[in-house]
Chains A and B, each alone.
Chain A
């Protein structure tokens, strides 16, 4: 049971470069999410998706782009990386939005922008 896999797990990139973080889930969950985790801020929602081809902004979407052409994949792209985007990024998924539906997380991607 692979669940949610994120890649790369660790990445160092330079300011201004484009970076894509991949997320793949094997549960066929409808909902997928991207969070970032920073000291002092906890986890904050970047983007979410209710289904293939349906995405919406979360709390901190600026500087990020997402797509969801297939249910199982939800890549996150930093179009022009900045040092403030140094963070740990978590992809997550959920089967739905009815009472009791849990959100499950991937292992995280550590991104450093230098």
Chain B
């Protein structure tokens, strides 16, 4: 069974500092993808970044990067130079492609990030 664990229910970070949001996962499938979504107070789910299990390099998207450590089964999100607008809930999610991936994503419980000025 797939499982995603986010151990930080909430975080307070000073503006302009870098942030690392933790995510560990468990799966027995060799082909899977790891996703991060941002959910601001307005409620929508915004896709941030994707890392495939066979990708050799860590994914990056602007200020977002994913620190992928396959042996440790961790996929931490790093936000560089945090901004007030980064305050939101952040969800780590996984999709197993080996079994077809038809049943979508398994989500963690989320981390509530608050950026302080």
Contact = CB atoms under 8 A, between A and B. Distances in A.
Interface of A: 31, 33, 35, 40-45, 48, 50, 56, 58, 88, 90, 92, 94, 97-108, 110
Interface stretch (B13-21, B68-76, B80-88, B104-112): B104-112
A99 B33 contact: yes
Contact of A99 (B35, B43, B97, B102): B97
Interface of B is mostly: loop
B104 A108 contact: no
B43 A43 contact: no
Contacts of B37: 105
A48 B44 contact: no
Contact of A97 (B91, B97, B107): B97
B110 A99 contact: no
B91 A42 contact: yes
Interface of B: 31, 33, 35, 37, 43-47, 50, 52-54, 91, 93, 95, 97, 100-105, 107-110
A89 B6 CA distance: 22
Given A42-B110, A107-B44, A108-B44, A101 B101 contact: yes
A108 B103 contact: no
A108 B47 contact: no
A106 B43 CA distance: 10
A81 to B, nearest CB: 21
Given A56-B103, A103-B105, A107-B44, 7 more contacts: A42-B109, A42-B110, A45-B103, A97-B97, A99-B52, A99-B53, A103-B104
A41 B93 CA distance: 14
Contact of A92 (B33, B52, B53, B104): B104
A48 B104 contact: yes
Contacts of B101: 97-98, 101
Find the residue from B53, B101, B109, B110 having the highest chain A CB count within 10 A.
Answer: B101
A31 B109 CA distance: 24
21 contacts: A31-B104, A33-B104, A35-B104, A42-B91, A42-B108, A42-B109, A43-B91, A45-B104, A56-B102, A90-B45, A97-B97, A99-B52, A99-B54, A100-B50, A101-B33, A101-B95, A102-B35, A102-B50, A105-B44, A105-B45, A107-B43
